[in-house]
Structure 1
Amino acid sequence: MGGPRGAGAPRGPQPVAKWWTFAASCAIQACAGLGYSFSVYAPAIKEKMGLNQVEIATVGSAVNLGGYFAIVSGAIYDATKDMPSAGPRLVISMGSLCCVCGYLGMWLMVSGRAKGGFAELLMLAVCAGNMGVWYDTTAIVTNVRNFPRSRGYVVGILKSFLGLSASIYTTVYTAAFAPDAVTFLLVLGLAPAAICSVLSLFVNYVPFVEACEMAHTPGSPAVGTERRFLYTYGLVAVIAGYQCLSALAEAHDAPSQSARAALAAGCLLLLCGVGAIPRGTGGLRAVYGHEHAAGDADEGLAPRTASGGGGGGGDDRDSAGGRAGGERAVSPRRRAARDASPAAARAGRERSRGGADHERLPLLMAAAGGAGGSAALDGPASAGGAPPPAAPHPSPPPSLAAGDPPAAPLPNLNTMDMARSFEAWCVFAQFCVGTGVALAMLNNMGQLVVALGGPRGGQVALVSLFSVANAAGRLVMGYWPEKALHGRGTPRPLFLAGVAAAMALVSLATAYASLAALYPMAVLMGLLFGSHWSLVPAICSDLFGLAHFGSNYTALQFAPAMGSYLLATRLTGALYDAAAAAHGDPRDCVGPDCFRAAFLVLAALALAGAAACAAAAARSRRVYAAIARHMREAEEAEARLSP
């Protein structure tokens, strides 16, 4: 199953195995998206607290604001990332504290057990919404660090479970509590915190490649890993399909209480399938295989240069040039472990052929035709003179063939450096616009149904369809871009540009949609909304590195917070009020033109976002060429280390 503990094997108790961490993180993410269930208990808050429509909408915006204010959780995670177990568990415990304080506080106020005004309610709503970002930050960052060459799969799956969380808890509500939404608030204040506190014991960072990740058949070093991810993809797809059918059945057939209980039990039974993810991986504790390849571990994210040395046997001189631009030196223990492996040394000597002493290429800001070529990733020739004879080398991915841009150094930027890059602002802009457009539909679904001639309360099935499609979009855009990157080196921002262009078309169609057409529009918008939540974290780790991933990823989450308020609330609300006034009713608008102006403006903004993402994709081609090359080299080196 794995070799003996080598020179780089950590001393002392081994951490919990990666797949156990991943399985626990899936279940944690199923508790992290409860902000999307606001519409379930919003009527009870409105009635018990005597709020008007504007006030209850403000409470919903407060929940969204808490759900997107993630910079603190990212900063704390990065500050404690050198504590592989205690760090993630501390961040999860902060999320559980927010959960208890927020939802339990709202329950106390709504049930009349505690007194408070509108301002106190808003603070509790922000706290309740904020619980999810602590869970999400821990799950995403820890597992991306554990599986650095499968980050697209990891993000897609974990974000899909988050997208399904509101649907899962809504199913529990309809089976056990409906119509008592006040008691449901009490459950939200206690159950997720208790579940995640227990699951946090299985969450940690594993600073090496486990034996179960190594090759089982020649030439396919990641076959076991990919199959486990595919199993989890299938599990999420089954749960999403089950929830979709359940929502449609509840909307059209009005099932009995016992039928609803059976549907909820089936959902929870399917969710237990995450327990099979780590099966056959060698037990609860991680079994050491070998050290991470340079570029996968946090210490190896900086670019390899002639002065700074290469991974696995190149020149590792600790010169000033080798640490320029914020590059972190490899620790002596990791260097010794890495160089102790003859296979790793051979891989380093093979990468070191070429011998030209190139200057470091600028990160991300470099022009597409900048000097340096692919040798920026290569170390110097062997100290003894000519390099050893080159071993047969597999053909590179098609995107790395002659005529394509040369590879750039692997990036490693902190948040301030990220904020100075053009690509970061392109991604930020589309993240803001994309989430704002989707939330403009979701948050106003009830009014949209009424405006198109539907009944009040007719949005329940549409919200469920949006939620399931949201999870499906996260799955698809986690898997497809990852396969394209491994196979052809395709830049992930290119997929984000396609999503933005599709969102412009869906927004345009929604502006002229009928009530019947609103159903496919809700599904498509949910797919595109979910796609952002898989693509943006993966793009962040690709373009800006893993060393500061927690802070960088959570800084980008200011974008959906802005989109939710500026586009979904202010812009859409103002244009809707103008249409309602034109119809002679300042409160409710009935007519196909009520939201038309809003969605036409949103379509134009989405089109601008598509252009920005296309520019980011063009400028980042060299970085993605480097990532694709690194993945190929790391897999080759891993194949040599495998039994």
Structure 2
Amino acid sequence: MVAIMVDRETPKPTLSTIEVEEKSKEPRSVLRRLGDTVRPPALGEDYSILQALVSIDMLILFFATICGVGGTLTAIDNMGQIGESLGYPSKSINTFVSLISIWNAMGRIASGFLSEVFLAKYKFPRPLMLTAILLLACAGHLLIAFGVPNSLYVASVIIGFCFGAQWPLLFAIISELFGLKYYSTLYNFGGVASPIGSYILNVKAAGHLYDKEAKRQNLGKPEKTSSRGKDLTCMGAKCFQLSFLIITAATVVGAVVSLLLVFRTREFYKGDIYAKFRNTANNTDTAVEEEAPPPVLAAGDKDRQRTKINTGN
């Protein structure tokens, strides 16, 4: 008996099968494209806006700024009530405001100048200087929290200096790590940390706890009213003590988090962060020299040149 072998061809995939396979590949390709979009370049190169916003370095810097700027801004906004609650006269309170303004400007100048000098001479990274500023601000917060007599003068100087010093460091770090192509947008994104920190630490922490202590002190007393409505006044160190202990803790957390940025950028700041700008400038100068037209000879120079050619000299 002869067995007849019948070759059976493998059935070709139907159109529906092909469509299913293509659809299964589409999400993977979309995810791959999305990954390529948000994958950051090397530090110091020009990041896109999306790459910078989702960068771990930017998130660390943003969180540290919320803690640092939010705490110092809370102290500045409430300096009048702080002085009043601690029993300082109006003249001294006005002095505190002036000291904050003066040392705010000094902090901006000093942090920008000193960070540049330390970076150029000692490779001292700017994020580490930001950490030092945050730790210094903790001293001012603690002076307010414990209400040490006559310490508000020193606290005003420290708070004003630290508030001003954080901004040049923040914007310089953004420009160095994420490039200058979208710096204007990233500059404004960094500034958003100020209202967020102020809302959390000023409104939700200091304002709420101050009102709570004021109500406790005025319990059973007739309420004072003004054009703004009920006006509660709190007296004593306890009015802002818990608030500024919380602010101190938040600032310490911000300083610790900023150390992560110091660790992540240590190799970047050990190198020459301005090398690419010098190379670009040198290449531009070379290109300009190569494209420069030949010098134009005056009439007398042309005659002398013809004479030299004719005489063979």
**Other structure's SS at 2:238 match:** coil
8 Å Cα contact 2:108-2:165 kept in structure 1: yes
- Paired residue for 1:621, among 257, 266, 269? 266
Give the aligned partner of residue 216 of structure 2: 582
Partner Cα separation in structure 2 for residue 492 and residue 426 of structure 1:
14
Contact kept, 8 Å, 1:486 with 1:631, in 2: the verdict is: no
Indicate the residue corresponding to 2:4 in structure 1.
none
Aligned to 1:533: 167
TM-score, length of structure 2 as denominator length: 0.70
Corresponding residue for residue 524 of structure 1: 158
Counterpart Cα distance in 1 of 2:260 and 2:43? 20
**Runs of 5+ unmatched residues, structure 2:** 1-35, 220-230, 287-313
1-structure distance, mates of 2:276, 2:149: 48
Aligned 1:247-258 pairs, distance under 5 A: none
User: 1:634 and 1:484 mapped to 2: Cα distance?
Assistant: 23
Judge conservation of contact 2:43–2:178 (CA < 8 Å) in 1: no
Residue aligning to 1:597 = 242
Q: Classify the secondary structure of the residue corresponding to 1:411.
A: coil
Aligned to 2:110: 476
Contact 1:449 1:515 in 2 (8 A): no
- The answer for the alignment partner of 1:609 in structure 2 is 254
Letter aligned with residue 534 of structure 1: P
* Alpha-carbon distance in 1 for matches of 2:257, 2:43: 23
Q: Are the aligned partners of 1:409 and 1:626 in contact in 2 as well (CA < 8 Å)?
A: no
Letter matched to residue 448 of structure 1:
I
For 2:148 and 2:277, the matched residues in 1 are separated by: 50
Secondary structure of the equivalent of 1:595?
A: helix
Partner of 1:594, secondary structure, is helix
Matched, 1:552 2:197: no
**1:110-141 deviation line (CA, Å, top 9, x unaligned):** xxxxxxxxxxxxxxxxxxxxxxxxxxxxxxxx
- Closer/same/farther in 2, CA of residues 626 and 411 from structure 1, 3 Å limit: farther
Q: Deviations over 1:532-553 (max 9, x none)?
A: 1111010110111000000011
Q: Distance in 2 between matches of 1:458 and 1:506?
A: 17
Maintained 8 Å contact 2:100/2:157: yes
Q: State the alpha-carbon separation in 1 of the partners of residues 242 and 175 from structure 2.
A: 37
Query: 1:585-611 deviations in whole A, cap 9, x for unaligned?
Result: 671011111100000000000000001
SS in 2 for 1:446: helix
- Mapped contact 2:73–2:198 kept (Cα < 8 A): yes
Verify the 8 A CA contact 1:462 1:519 in the aligned structure 2.
Answer: yes
Give, in angstroms, the shift of residue 429 of structure 1. 1.2
Structure 1 pair 522/468, CA: closer, same or farther in 2 (3 Å)?
same
Distance 2:146 2:49 in 1: 41
- What one-letter code is carried by the residue in structure 1 that aligns with 2:255? A
Amino acid at match of 2:142: L
The alpha-carbon distance between structure 1 residues 530 and 362, as it changes in their structure 2 partners (threshold 3 A), is: same
Number of paired residues?
A: 238
Larger Rg: 2
Amino acid corresponding to residue 509 of structure 1 in structure 2:
L
- Residue 571 of structure 1 is matched in structure 2 by 205
The unaligned stretches of length 5 or more in structure 1 are 1-324, 327-360, 364-407
For 2:133, the equivalent position in structure 1 comes to 499
Are the equivalent residues in 1 in contact too, given 2:142–2:244 (CA < 8 A)? yes
User: Could you tell me how far apart the structure 2 residues matched to 1:449 and 1:362 are?
Assistant: 48
**Does the CA contact (< 8 Å) of 2:145 and 2:244 recur in 1?**
yes
Question: What is the DSSP-based 3-state SS (H/G/I as helix, E as strand, rest coil) of the residue aligned with 1:588?
Answer: coil
CA distance in 1, matches of 2:232, 2:272: 53
Deviates more, 1:495-504 or 1:449-458: 449-458
Instruction: For 2:280 and 2:113, locate their aligned partners in 1 and report how far apart those are by CA, in whole Å.
Output: 19
Structure-1 separation of matches of 2:201 and 2:91: 24
- From the superposition, tell whether residues 568 and 609 of structure 1 become closer, same or farther in structure 2 (CA, over 3 Å): same
SS at match of 2:239: coil
Q: 1:493 to 1:618 in 2, by over 3 A?
A: same
Structure 2 CA distance, aligned partners of 1:458 and 1:504?
22
1:453/1:515 contact within 8 Å kept: no
Distance 1:544 1:629 in 2: 13
Which whole-Å CA distance do the structure 2 matches of 1:429 and 1:511 have between them?
A: 23
1:455 deviates by: 2.9
How many angstroms does 1:456 deviate by? 4.4
> In structure 1, how many angstroms separate the alpha carbons of the residues matched to 2:214 and 2:207?
10
**Mapped partners of 1:444, 1:534: distance in 2:** 24
* Separation (CA, whole Å) in 1 of partners of 2:249 and 2:57: 21
Distance 1:629 1:534 in 2: 18
Is 1:463–2:120 an aligned residue pair?
A: no
Structure 2 CA distance, aligned partners of 1:425 and 1:534?
A: 18
| Counterpart mapping for 1:185-196 below 5 A | none
Q: Report the Cα offset of residue 618 of structure 1.
A: 0.9
Could you tell me how far apart the structure 1 residues matched to 2:113 and 2:174 are?
16
Report how far residue 460 of structure 1 moved: 1.2
**Inter-CA distance 451–515: structure 2 relative to 1 (3 Å threshold):** farther
Assess if the C-alpha contact under 8 Å between 1:436 and 1:564 holds in 2: yes
| Distance in 2 between residues matched to 1:584 and 1:456, nearest whole Å | 23
Report the equivalent of 2:47: 413
Deviation track 1:217-244 (CA, whole Å, cap 9, x = no partner) reads: xxxxxxxxxxxxxxxxxxxxxxxxxxxx
Letter in 2 for 1:591: G
- Contact 2:112–2:168 (CA under 8 A) maintained in structure 1: yes
The answer (yes or no) to whether the contact 1:485–1:628 under 8 Å persists in 2 is no
The Cα offsets for residues 91-110 of structure 1, whole Å up to 9 and x where unpaired, read as xxxxxxxxxxxxxxxxxxxx
Q: What is the CA-CA distance between 1:574 and the residue it aligns to?
A: 0.4
For residues 397-408 of structure 1, the aligned pairs below 5 Å read: none
Q: TM-score, normalised by structure 1?
A: 0.35
Question: Structure 1 500/554 Cα, relative in aligned 2: closer, same or farther at 3 Å?
Answer: same
> Residue 44 of structure 2 contacts residue 273 of structure 2 at CA under 8 Å; is this kept in 1?
no
Q: Find the aligned partners of 1:521 and 1:477 in 2 and give their Cα distance.
A: 18
Greater helix share, structure number: 2
The amino acid of 1:598's aligned partner reads S
CA contact 1:452–1:514 (8 Å) conserved in 2: no
Which structure's relative contact order is higher, taking Cα pairs within 8 Å and 6+ residues apart? 2
Partners of 1:595 and 1:609 lie apart in 2 by 21
Partner of 2:84: 450
1:488 corresponds to 2:122: yes
Conservation of the 8 A alpha-carbon contact between 1:576 and 1:595: yes
Distance 2:97 2:174 in 1: 29
Task: Provide closer, same or farther for how the CA distance between residues 488 and 454 of structure 1 changes in structure 2, counting only shifts above 3 A.
Answer: closer
User: Structure 1 vs Structure 2: percent identity of aligned residues?
Assistant: 29
Partner of 1:512 in structure 2? 146
Corresponding residue to 1:433 among 63, 67, 79: 67
The question of whether the paired residues in 2 share the 8 Å contact of 1:410 and 1:627 is answered with no
